[in-house]
Amino acid sequence: MTLNASITVKRGDEFTLETSIRVEEGKTVALLGPNGAGKSTAVAALAGLLPIDQGRIVLGDRVLDDPDVGVFVPPDERGIGVVFQDYLLFGHLTVAENVAFGLRSQKKERDAADVKTSAWLERLGLSQLANSKARDLSGGQAQKVAVARALIIDPGLLLLDEPMAALDATTRVEVRRDLADHLSRFAGPRLLITHDPTEAFLLADEINVIENGRITQVGSADDVRLRPRTRYVADLAGSNLLTGTALSGAVTVGTHILQVGDTAIGGSVLATIHPRAISVHRRHPEGSPRNVWKTAIVRIEHFGDRVRLQTGDPLPLAVEVTPAAVDALGLKHESEIWLSVKATEIGVEPG
C-alpha cells in the first residue's frame, strides 16, 4: 500500500505546516529538515495524534483523515507503526512485554503473540534481553526494541521519528547499518523523519526537504546533494559524501584515489569533503595538499554571497567559493580548473 498524505496544520498563529508526502510500498522516504521545520507536527498528524485542518491522509485504500468529509481514524485504528524519538518504551514492562504490547492489545492476535514475539526478538538479536526491564536498556538496545515493537504489528506504514537522535556517535553508526537492514526487509512504505543529512542520504530512496512547514525539494540523495535548491539544502548537503575503500591512508573512490589523514582505517568507508574545504586553481598548484587533480566545471549556481560549483570527472564534487573568486578566476561553465584538498580535510568513517 502507498501513503498519500496532503497535510495542512496550523499550530498557533505563527506556524503552518502545509505539505504533501507520498511514500510507495517498499520505499523509504526521508523527511529532512531543521528543528522547528514541522517534522514532529507531520509525524503527529500521520499517527493520528493531531487532526489535520485541511487535506487528506490516505494509506492504501483507507482514508485516515479527511476534514472535508468528516473522516478521522483514531491512532489505535490506523495500523501505523511508529518508532518514537525517545523510543517511549514502557519502562515498567520487560523487553518481551514491550514487543508483544501491540499484539496483546488486539484481541485476535493475542494467541500468536508469544510465538511472534520470540521470532522478532531473535531477528533483532534481543533474545537475551527478553526478560530485562525496558528501563534498564542502553540506547542502542532500546532502539532495537522500539523497532521490533513497531514492526511486529505488521503495520501498513512505518514511521521513524529521528530514530538515531538519542544515540551517541559510535552507536549511531552501528545501529544505522542494522536499521538499513530492517527497513529493507519491511515490505510496506517507510517514512523517516530526521535532521541528519547523512542518515537521510544513507537510508532513504527519496528525500523530501522540509523548511518552515513547507517542502522545498524532493529528490534522490544525489539530487539533493549535488543540486540543492535552497540555501539550507546547500548547507546541509554541505559535505560531499563519497563511498570507497580505504587502505593505509588511501581511499579509492571509483577510479580516483584520495589521500586521507586516517591511516588506521580499512575496508568499506564513507568519505566526506566539505565544499568549502576545496580550493580552486586555474593552474596546477604547488603546496602541501596531497590531493590535487584536474577537472572541469559542470555547473555554476549562485546563492547570494556564495557560489556553488559542480565539478565533473574523475570525482564529481560540489565546491563552494565566493562570487569574488569566480570573477577573479574567470570561472564559467566548462572552465578547466585544478582542485586541491588537504588529506586532513577529508573525514572518513566506516561505512
Partner 1 sequence: MSREKARHGRSRPPIAFVVLAAIAVVFFLLPLIGLLARTPWSDLVSLLASEVVADALVLSAIASFAAVTISTVVGVPLAWVLARVDFRGRALVRGLVLLPLVLPPVVGGAALLFALGRRGVVGEPLYEATGLVLPFSIWGVVIAVTFVSMPFLVLTVEGALRNVDVRFEGAAGSLGAGGWTVFRRVTLPMIGPSLAAGMVLTWARAIGEFGATVTFAGNLAGETQTLPLAVFVALETNRDTATALSLLMVAISLTVLVLLRDRWLRPQ
What residue ranges bind partner 1 (CB under 8 A)? 47-49, 74-82, 84, 86, 88, 90, 92-93, 101-102, 105-106, 149-150, 153
Q: Which whole-number Å values give the CA distances from 73 to 55, 58, 117, in the listed order?
A: 14, 11, 27
CB of 213 to partner 1, least distance (A): 22
Q: For the purposes of burial, counting CB atoms within 10 Å of the CB of 41, is it exposed (0-12), middle (13-18) or buried (19 or more)?
A: buried
CA distance 29 to 19: 14
Beta-sheet strand order (sheet of 256-259): 256-259, 250-253, 240-247, 267-273, 346-350
Residues in Cβ contact with 55 at an 8 Å cutoff, skipping those fewer than 6 apart: 5, 6, 7, 8, 65, 66, 67
Cell numbers that stand for 28 in this block: 523509504
CB of 50 to partner 1, least distance (A): 10
21 or 269: CB nearest partner 1: 21
Single-letter residue type at 63: V
50 or 129: CB nearest partner 1: 50
CB of 76 to partner 1, least distance (A): 5
CB of 106 to partner 1, least distance (A): 5
47 or 226: CB nearest partner 1: 47
Q: CB 39: neighbour CB atoms within 10 A?
A: 23
77 or 336: CB nearest partner 1: 77
143 or 340: CB nearest partner 1: 143
CB of 73 to partner 1, least distance (A): 12
Distance from first CA to last CA of the chain, Å, rounded?
31
133 or 299: CB nearest partner 1: 133
Place of cell 560540489: 318
72 or 101: CB nearest partner 1: 101
100 or 337: CB nearest partner 1: 100
CB of 88 to partner 1, least distance (A): 4
CB of 283 to partner 1, least distance (A): 60
Place of cell 532500546: 142
73 or 331: CB nearest partner 1: 73
Residue 65 phi/psi, 5-degree rounding, is: -155, 120
For residue 25, give the 3-state DSSP assignment: coil
Q: Which whole-number Å values give the CA distances from 291 to 257, 280, 343, in the listed order?
A: 9, 12, 7
CA distance 64 to 46: 8
CB of 290 to partner 1, least distance (A): 50
For residue 323, give the 3-state DSSP assignment: helix
CB of 319 to partner 1, least distance (A): 44
